[in-house]
Structure 1
C-alpha cells in the first residue's frame, strides 16, 4: 500500500479530545433500548414522533450534564498547537448533538472551529460527515486521518477511505487491529502526522 501524505486530521470528541462520563447503559435502560443495540438506531426506529422526541430529550439531558463536566484530555492542547504550527487543518465529527458539543468545546477551550454533530449529518459509522469535511478542504480522502477512541470511529474512517487512528490510552480493545494506527499517548500524534508529511 502506498502511504499517502496526511494533509488534514479529523477528530472524534468524547474520549478523544475531551473527557466524557456518559453512562450509555443507564441511558439505554431509561429509553427502553437493549444493551447490545445502538442507541441512536433504536430511537430512530421508535414508532411515533412523540416517542422519538421523548427518548431524545432524555439523551439530551445526559449529554448536556456531561458537557458541563467535560475536561480537556492529557496531551491534547500541546498536540493541537503543534498540528496548527504544521499548518494541518483540523475538524471534529461527533455523535453528540450540537448544543452539548459546542458547550464542550467552549468549556475545554478546544481551538477547532469546524465541527459536525449528529444534527448536521448521519451519525458514525456513516461516513457522510467525514466526506463532507474532506470535500470542504478539497483533499482526497486518503490524505485525511480520523482519530477516535471507539469502533464506530474506525468504521467511519474505513467507510470514508480515510486513514484510521485509534486513541487507546488504557486497555487495548478487541477491535484495535482494525485501525491503521494506534495512539497510546495523545502527544504522539504530531510525530505520526509528520512521518507522512
Structure 2
C-alpha cells in the first residue's frame, strides 16, 4: 500500500449511519399494510444494499417479482420524505476528515445513492466540503462497476492507482479492485451478509481513527523515503 494522494469514501455505512432512516421507511410501509415492524437490527445489515436489500429484508420480495417495482418507488418516496431524521456521521468521522484536511489530502464520496438523495443529504450531514460527490446515477454504471470511482479520480485530477477507496460492502471492494485503487473495508459499517475478512480487501479497519492513523503512517513513510 502506497501513501494515498486522495481518499474516496462510500456514504451509507462508511461515513454516515443512515440505517435508522432507511429502516424507518421500510417500517412505515409495513405499518400502512397493518404489518408489525421489523426489528431494527434485522434491517441494519442491509442498509448499504439499497432498495433491493431493504425491501428483500422487510418484505421478502425480490426484483423479479411483479410487485417489486411499485414497492421500490414507494420506499424511495417514503425515504425521501424523512431522509435525515435520525441519520448522523459515525463517531470520529469528523476527526478523520479534519485530519485529512490537515494533511492536505483531498477526499470525496462515491455512493450508489441516487443524486435525488445525495444532493439534499450531503449538506444535512455536514459533508459539503467533499471535493467530489459521485452518485449512483452520475455515470452509466453503479458499483461494483469501476466507472463511478474512475469518474471521481478524474474529477479530482488524480490517477486511480493513487487513490484509496473505503467502503462497508463487498461491492465497494470489488469496485476499487476493478478501478485499480487500494481497497479498504470499513468494518464499523453495515457489511451486509458476509464478513469483511472474506472480501480480499487490501486492508480492514475497525474505526475511522484507525484509518487516519494508517494514512498518517503511509504519509510519513513516503516523506521519509
Fold-level similarity (TM above 0.5): yes
- Pick the aligned partner of 1:154 from 173, 191, 198: 173
Cross-structure match for 2:158:
139
What SS does the aligned partner of 2:17 have? coil
Question: How far is 1:4 from its partner?
Answer: 2.6
Mapping for residues 4-153 of structure 1, pairs under 5 Å: 4-21=2-19, 22-23=22-23, 25-28=53-56, 33-34=61-62, 42=63, 54=70, 56-64=72-80, 65-110=82-127, 111-121=129-139, 122-153=141-172
- Over alpha carbons, which structure has the higher Rg? 2
Q: Distance in 1 between matches of 2:189 and 2:76?
A: 28
Q: Distance in 2 between matches of 1:26 and 1:116?
A: 22
Question: How far is 1:150 from its partner?
Answer: 0.9
Question: How far is 1:7 from its partner?
Answer: 0.5
Cross-structure match for 1:39:
none
Question: How far is 1:92 from its partner?
Answer: 0.4
Cross-structure match for 1:38:
none
Give TM-score scaled by structure 2 length.
0.70
Going from structure 1 to structure 2, the CA distance change for 1:170 and 1:11 (only over 3 Å counts) comes to: closer
Cross-structure match for 2:205:
183
Single out whichever of 162-171 and 60-69 deviates more from structure 2: 60-69
Question: How far is 1:74 from its partner?
Answer: 0.3
Aligned-pair RMSD on alpha carbons? 2.7
How many pairs are equivalent?
182
Moved over 6 A (4+): 29-32
Which ranges of structure 2 fall in alignment gaps of 5 or more residues? 24-45, 47-52, 220-225
Going from structure 1 to structure 2, the CA distance change for 1:4 and 1:97 (only over 3 Å counts) comes to: same
Give TM-score scaled by structure 1 length.
0.79
Which ranges of structure 1 fall in alignment gaps of 5 or more residues? 35-41
